[in-house]
């Protein structure tokens, strides 16, 4: 059934208190719930029956105010328990049995390795007990856990510990009490033989909070970075948002079987272990950065999500968009702000823009869904974060802080809407965000078409900006949006010009450093801005810092782009100019196979390499991490998004050709940069995790990638040396990738040998093994699909582990467009088979894997037909999950 936002009604009943008792066991767990219910004074009276959500529960016992109910007074079906004619205020006691070890969907209470854990967001709590499983019902929880201490010595739930007991039968009992009312999706239980890493944090007001990270035994030596990140996040939330931690204890548990990244359960965050565990030799710099970001994200949810939660799931971006914005800003403050912005925009463009342009397009605040799990999307998360970022930009830091203070004060303890958030920004900012609110309601990526005119006689420069948003499924007509558009103008030397708009007096011209970027506000379909006092035609730097999530069109010449790439004071736009330049060239090369790479392009790269700093402390403006970003060519997926009909092979060939050309023509310059940043002694001695050191590794490995595209025996030896001697995973994996991609006539079996060595070394480290699977799945070699099929039979492969499934099947389908989209359709058939195999086990994972096929209309007729056939084939299967059904039917336009 379709759930619609407009159908929202407040709950008829509220649950003030929930007392839960678990007798935990992997095979069968007993859950006893005693709920204090009362009629919701804010809701109209219904039929007088109480409807509780419940799935896959065996009801053993049911009493109301101490009276066991006869069958005539209640009814149970697949989704609910309905108790007839209940009083206005009463206590309901249920006893149910559930089966964690049979729970392959990993929603509700399930088994991961030797432990028991839960995942309740969005609607998993109903697989634990009968409840009003909706976020606007907030209850106080008291939890009692009973288990065999030999198997489950550690027993955890939300809130503060409230004592333990040894029972006469040898079992152990632990009590937990969470003083903060919360929705059921934030409930959590963990039981297992877990190793503990402990630290503490003293809050701004002087409370000492123990911080505990629980991991599977053997992983205690991989928690330092997560702990450091947690403490930094706690401090940052105090200083930047005035938010202090509230419970007596904060816990993180890392589990190896998890459907998504992590979960912000009150006081007891549960993580996919890939976002906790890291040691320099097992995790890459990118892994370290993700851990920092995800640990912070989940911690920040304590205020943006838990203390203030969502009224209904259409408001998901209220907590996710805001919390992503917060974690992005936190990470920016920990390392290089410019590089962080580039990474975030790259993700937005490569994942969210295509989503907005495809059959799954939906507003940041969706209007309907079949399965809420399908709406944990790049749109709700990443575009949602951009909407908060735009509001922060429109208000400026002081007023934005006033706005968030007001939000926390006004809505603490409540379940609210994205509109409530905007209203706070509006009030604190003293501005009208009526038009801005359309961003939440309207799907699709706006396109800005810019034109300009310089009037030499008047010394004026006029920018004309047209906006339009393309139609999306179910939303044919779009209205103009309120768009913050940051602009700078450069003179012929590449310096920022002071900006003054026509009509502004010279006296009001600001003089501080910020003058050179102006935040223009677009509202009408066409807007014109005239700048005065310009002695010569300037080069415009548009949408600085990516001030709005839009597609920008402006007829830059290649010379303009090269100029901006070299001079723009806005680091983001320097990078973006380089990307646009490369993208243009690559798209031309796709059209015209014989096109040779223009000298000017090679020279622009050579120039960038020449400016490469000698070391991180060298006082040049080129930060190695930023330079690595500038030198990275747009991905195949991003290029595909720019084409009307995706030419899979052409894109791959163009990218390879361009990289090989640069690798050959710039060989000496590349080698020079490589050697300057290769310091085996220092690397081995004290491996350095600082952003500066990571940036140098990024640059060196980017350079190695180019060299590997034009290989000879010397380059093979270089990659081999790095693979053999590096003491950190970043360098090992980069070298392994290069070795694997080099042609056999140059590298011989060096790649295969390295792969085998890597396996021998890491066969017992599951997260490292995932990298081993993924590397092979992403290989451009022609036999990759055969290899992936072979790896499905590997003793270490299992469909039951989402990380492993993503590492092999996900990496192939989403990370290897060349081989996945093979012309014969074999990749599509393979993926459809896997989805049908996975759907009965784990619908969420099955639905996620479908994504690369949802964009089938963007390909040539042959591939379209092949993908469509597989989608139809899936849709014909009886008993599909709502997750897979919704994605397939929407993709086929059958919704
Ligand atoms: N709230 C979690 C986060 O921090 C993600 C939960 C995802 N849930 C789901 N059913 N996909 O972002
Ligand atoms: Zn989140």
Tens-digit pLDDT profile for residues 290-318: 999 999 999 999 999 999 999 999 999 99
How far away, in angstroms, is 728 Cα from ligand 2 center? 30
Q: Which residues line ligand 1 (CB under 6 A)?
A: 121-122, 260, 262-264, 297-298, 320, 373, 376
Q: Specify the length of the chain in residues.
A: 895
Pocket test for ligand 1, best of 121, 255, 374, 381 (most atoms within 8 A of CB): 121
Supply the pLDDT for residue 515: 67
Cβ proximity of 4 and 368 under 8 Å: yes
Between the two ends of the chain, the Cα-to-Cα distance in Å is: 11
Q: Which residues of 344-375 are buried (b: 16+ CB within 10 A; e: fewer)?
A: bbbebbbbbbbbbbbbbbbbbbbbebbbbbbb
Chain-centroid distance of CA 17 in Å reads 34
ipTM attached to this prediction:
0.98
How far away, in angstroms, is 763 Cα from ligand 2 center? 32
- For the beta carbon of residue 464, count every other beta carbon within 10 angstroms: 14
Between strands 139-147 and 172-182, the pairing is antiparallel
> The dihedral of CA 293, 298, 301, 302: what is its sign?
negative
Structural tokens at position 16: 């003030």
In degrees and rounded to multiples of 5, residue 313 shows phi and psi of -75, -10
Q: Nearest 10 degrees: CA dihedral of 364, 472, 575, 818? A: 110
Ligand 1 atom closest to 124 (CA): 10
Please, which residues have CB less than 5 A from ligand 2, an ion? 320, 323
Supply the pLDDT for residue 685: 52
Among the listed residues 12, 107, 121, 298, the single catalytic one is: 298
Supply the pLDDT for residue 368: 98
Cα–Cα distance for residue pair 142/20, rounded to 1 Å? 6
Cβ proximity of 309 and 183 under 8 Å: yes
- For the beta carbon of residue 494, count every other beta carbon within 10 angstroms: 13
> The dihedral of CA 488, 494, 495, 499: what is its sign?
negative
Cβ proximity of 188 and 145 under 8 Å: no
How far away, in angstroms, is 412 Cα from ligand 2 center? 18
Cα–Cα distance for residue pair 206/859, rounded to 1 Å? 60
Between strands 29-39 and 13-23, the pairing is antiparallel
Cβ proximity of 469 and 457 under 8 Å: no
Active site residue 58: no
In degrees and rounded to multiples of 5, residue 405 shows phi and psi of -60, -45
Cβ proximity of 144 and 163 under 8 Å: no
Ligand 1 atom closest to 263 (CA): 2
Burial (CB count <10 Å: 0-12, 13-18, 19+), residue 479: exposed
Report the run of H or E that residue 171 belongs to, with start and end: none
How far away, in angstroms, is 411 Cα from ligand 1 center? 22
Structural tokens at position 125: 């709590």
- DSSP three-state, residue 272: strand
Between strands 50-53 and 29-39, the pairing is unpaired
- DSSP three-state, residue 518: strand
The DSSP string of 415-445 is EE-HHHHHHHHHHHHT---TTTTHHHH--S-
Burial (CB count <10 Å: 0-12, 13-18, 19+), residue 833: middle
Cβ proximity of 100 and 152 under 8 Å: no
Question: Which portions of the chain are predicted below pLDDT 50?
Answer: 512-514, 616-621, 683-684
Report the run of H or E that residue 729 belongs to, with start and end: helix 729-741
Cβ partners under 8 Å of residue 423, min gap 6: none
Cβ proximity of 127 and 4 under 8 Å: no
User: C-alpha angle 326/328/333, rounded to 5°?
Assistant: 95
Cβ partners under 8 Å of residue 265, min gap 6: 118, 120, 158, 186, 187, 188
Supply the pLDDT for residue 622: 63
Determine which residue's CA is closest to atom 5 belonging to ligand 1: 263
**Bridge partners, residue 140, by sequence:** 17
Pocket test for ligand 1, best of 263, 379, 882 (most atoms within 8 A of CB): 263
Give tens-digit pLDDT for 533-555. Answer: 999 999 999 999 999 999 999 99
**Bridge partners, residue 14, by sequence:** 38
Ligand nearest to the CA of 269: 1
**Bridge partners, residue 177, by sequence:** 142, 160
Burial (CB count <10 Å: 0-12, 13-18, 19+), residue 894: exposed
Cα–Cα distance for residue pair 191/179, rounded to 1 Å? 21
Cβ proximity of 210 and 228 under 8 Å: no
Structural tokens at position 556: 């830059």
Cβ proximity of 574 and 565 under 8 Å: yes
DSSP secondary structure code for residue 83 in this structure: E
């Amino acid at each position: 059934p379709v759930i619609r936002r407009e159908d929202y009604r407040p709950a008829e009943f509220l649950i003030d208190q929930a007392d839960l008792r678990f007798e935990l066991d992997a095979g069968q767990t007993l859950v006893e719930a005693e709920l204090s219910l009362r009629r919701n004074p804010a809701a109209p009276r219904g039929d007088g029956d109480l409807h509780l959500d419940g799935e896959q529960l065996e009801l053993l016992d049911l009493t109301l105010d101490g009276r066991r109910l006869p069958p005539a007074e209640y009814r149970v079906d697949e989704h609910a328990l309905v108790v007839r004619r209940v009083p206005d205020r009463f206590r309901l006691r249920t006893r149910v049995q559930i089966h964690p070890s049979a729970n392959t969907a990993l929603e509700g209470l399930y088994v991961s390795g030797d432990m028991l854990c839960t995942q309740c967001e969005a609607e998993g709590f109903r697989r634990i007990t009968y409840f009003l499983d909706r976020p606007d019902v907030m209850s106080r929880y008291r939890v009692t856990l009973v288990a065999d201490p030999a198997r489950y010595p550690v027993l955890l739930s939300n809130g503060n510990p409230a004592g333990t007991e040894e029972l006469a039968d040898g079992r152990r009992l632990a009590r937990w009490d969470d003083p903060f009312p919360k929705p059921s999706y934030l409930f959590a239980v963990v039981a297992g033989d877990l190793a503990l890493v402990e630290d503490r944090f003293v809050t701004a007001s002087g409370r000492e909070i123990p911080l505990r990270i629980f991991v599977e035994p053997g992983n205690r030596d991989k928690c330092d970075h997560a702990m450091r990140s947690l403490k930094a996040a706690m401090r940052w939330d105090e200083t930047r948002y005035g938010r202090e931690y509230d419970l007596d204890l904060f816990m993180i548990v890392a589990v190896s079987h998890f459907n998504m990244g992590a979960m912000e359960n009150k006081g007891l965050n549960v993580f996919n272990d890939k976002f906790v565990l890291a040691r320099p030799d097992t995790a890459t710099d990118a892994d370290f950065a993700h851990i920092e970001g995800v640990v912070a994200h989940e911690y920040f949810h304590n205020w943006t999500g838990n203390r203030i939660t969502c009224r209904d799931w259409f408001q998901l971006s209220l907590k996710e968009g805001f919390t992503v914005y917060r974690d992005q800003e936190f990470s920016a403050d920990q390392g290089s702000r410019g590089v962080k912005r580039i990474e975030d925009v790259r993700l937005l463009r490569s994942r969210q823009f295509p989503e907005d342009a495809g059959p799954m397009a939906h507003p940041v605040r969706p209007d309907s869904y079949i399965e809420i799990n399908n709406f944990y999307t790049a749109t709700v998360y990443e575009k949602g974060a951009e909407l908060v970022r735009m509001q922060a930009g429109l208000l400026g830091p002081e007023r934005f802080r006033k706005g968030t203070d007001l939000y926390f004060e006004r809505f603490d303890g409540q379940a609210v809407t994205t509109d409530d958030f905007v209203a706070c920004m509006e009030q604190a900012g003293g501005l009208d965000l009526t038009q801005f609110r359309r961003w939440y309601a309207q799907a699709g990526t706006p396109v800005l078409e810019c034109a300009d005119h310089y009037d030499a006689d008047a010394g004026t420069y006029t920018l004309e900006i047209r906006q339009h948003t393309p139609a999306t499924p179910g939303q044919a007509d779009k209205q103009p949006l309120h768009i913050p558009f940051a602009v700078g103008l450069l003179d012929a030397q590449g310096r920022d010009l002071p900006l003054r708009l026509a009509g502004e007096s010279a006296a009001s011209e600001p003089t501080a450093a910020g003058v050179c970027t102006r935040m223009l506000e677009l509202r009408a379909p066409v807007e014109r801005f005239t700048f005065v006092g310009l002695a010569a035609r300037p080069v415009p730097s548009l949408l600085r810092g990516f001030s709005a999530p839009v597609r920008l069109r402006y007829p830059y010449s290649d010379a303009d782009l090269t100029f901006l790439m070299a001079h723009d004071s806005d680091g983001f736009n320097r990078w973006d100019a380089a990307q646009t330049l490369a993208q243009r060239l690559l798209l031309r090369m796709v059209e015209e196979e014989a096109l040779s790479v223009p000298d000017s392009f090679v020279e622009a790269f050579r120039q960038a390499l020449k400016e490469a700093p000698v070391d991180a402390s060298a006082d040049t403006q080129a930060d190695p991490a930023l330079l690595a970003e500038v030198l990275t060519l747009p991905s195949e997926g991003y290029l595909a998004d720019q084409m009307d009909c995706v030419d899979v092979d052409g894109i791959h060939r163009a990218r390879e050709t361009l990289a090989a050309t640069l690798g050959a023509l710039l060989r000496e310059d590349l080698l020079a940069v490589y050697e300057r940043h290769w310091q085996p002694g220092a690397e081995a001695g004290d491996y350095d995790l600082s952003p500066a050191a990571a940036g140098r590794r990024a640059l060196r490995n980017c350079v190695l990638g180019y060299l590997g595209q034009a290989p000879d025996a010397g380059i093979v030896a270089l990659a081999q040396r790095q693979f053999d001697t590096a003491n950190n995973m970043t360098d090992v994996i980069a070298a392994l990738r290069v070795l694997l991609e080099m042609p056999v006539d140059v590298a011989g079996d060096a790649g295969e040998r390295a792969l085998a060595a890597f396996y021998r070394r890491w066969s017992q480290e599951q997260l490292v093994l995932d990298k081993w699977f993924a590397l092979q799945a992403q290989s451009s070699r022609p036999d990759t699909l055969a290899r992936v099929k072979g790896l499905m039979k590997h003793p270490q492969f299992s469909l039951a582990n989402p990380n492993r499934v993503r590492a092999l099947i996900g990496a192939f389908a989403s990370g290897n467009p060349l081989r996945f989209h093979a012309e014969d359709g074999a990749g599509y058939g393979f993926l459809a088979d896997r989805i049908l195999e996975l759907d009965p086990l784990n619908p969420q994972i099955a639905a996620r894997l479908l994504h690369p096929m949802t964009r089938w209309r963007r390909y040539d007729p042959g591939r379209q037909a092949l993908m469509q056939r597989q989608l139809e084939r899936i849709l014909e299967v009886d008993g599909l999950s709502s997750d897979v059904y919704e994605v397939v039917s929407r993709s086929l336009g059958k919704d």
